[in-house]
Amino acid sequence: MRRGILLDHQRKADGGPGITLGSRNVLGILPEIPKLGFRHLEIFLDPALDDPAERRWLVDFAARARDLGADLWSMHVPFSRDVSVAGDAAREETVLGIESTIELAAAAGARFAVVHPGSVTAPGEMPLRMETSVRSLTRLNSFCRDHGIRLAVENMLPGHVGAGAAGLHAIIERLPHDAGVCFDTGHAHVTDGSTATALEVLAGRLYTLHVHDNDGTGDQHLIPGDGTIRWNEVVGTLARHGFQGVFMLEVSDRIRKRVPAEILRAAREACDRFLPPVEALPR
Q: What percent of the chain has pLDDT over 90?
A: 86
- Above 50 in pLDDT, residue 283? no
- 3-class state of residue 14 by DSSP: coil
CA 87 to chain centre: 27
* Tally of residues, the chain: 283
Say if residues 181 and 204 touch (Cβ distance below 8 Å): no
Q: Which residues in 164-205 belong to E strands, given as ranges? A: 180-184
Confidence of residue 279 (pLDDT cuts 50, 70, 90): low
Mean pLDDT, the chain, rounded, equals 93
pLDDT tens digits, 190-202: 999 999 999 999 9
**What CA–CA distance (Å, rounded) separates 228 from 272?**
18
pLDDT tens digits, 103-158: 999 999 999 999 999 999 999 999 999 999 999 999 999 999 999 999 999 999 99
Determine the pLDDT at residue 86.
Answer: 85
65 or 10: which leads in pLDDT:
65
Determine the pLDDT at residue 282.
Answer: 35
Say if residues 150 and 112 touch (Cβ distance below 8 Å): yes
Determine the pLDDT at residue 256.
Answer: 66
Q: Give mean pLDDT, residues 151-175.
A: 98
Q: Give mean pLDDT, residues 32-44.
A: 97
**What CA–CA distance (Å, rounded) separates 280 from 282?**
7
**What CA–CA distance (Å, rounded) separates 228 from 43?**
26
Buried b / exposed e over 60-84, threshold 16 CB at 10 Å, is ebbeebbebebbbbbbbbbbebbbb
Confidence of residue 255 (pLDDT cuts 50, 70, 90): low
User: Domains plus CATH for the chain?
Assistant: 2-274 (3.20.20.150)
| Nearest by Cα to 220 from 185, 188, 266, 254 | 254
**What CA–CA distance (Å, rounded) separates 228 from 106?**
36
pLDDT tens digits, 196-250: 999 999 999 999 999 999 999 999 999 999 999 999 999 999 999 999 999 999 9
Residue 25, C-beta contacts closer than 8 angstroms, at least 6 positions apart:
12, 18, 19, 260
Determine the pLDDT at residue 138.
Answer: 98
Determine the pLDDT at residue 237.
Answer: 97
pLDDT tens digits, 78-90: 988 899 998 889 9
Regarding pTM above 0.85, the answer is: yes
Determine the pLDDT at residue 257.
Answer: 74
1 or 3: which leads in pLDDT:
3
Determine the pLDDT at residue 281.
Answer: 36
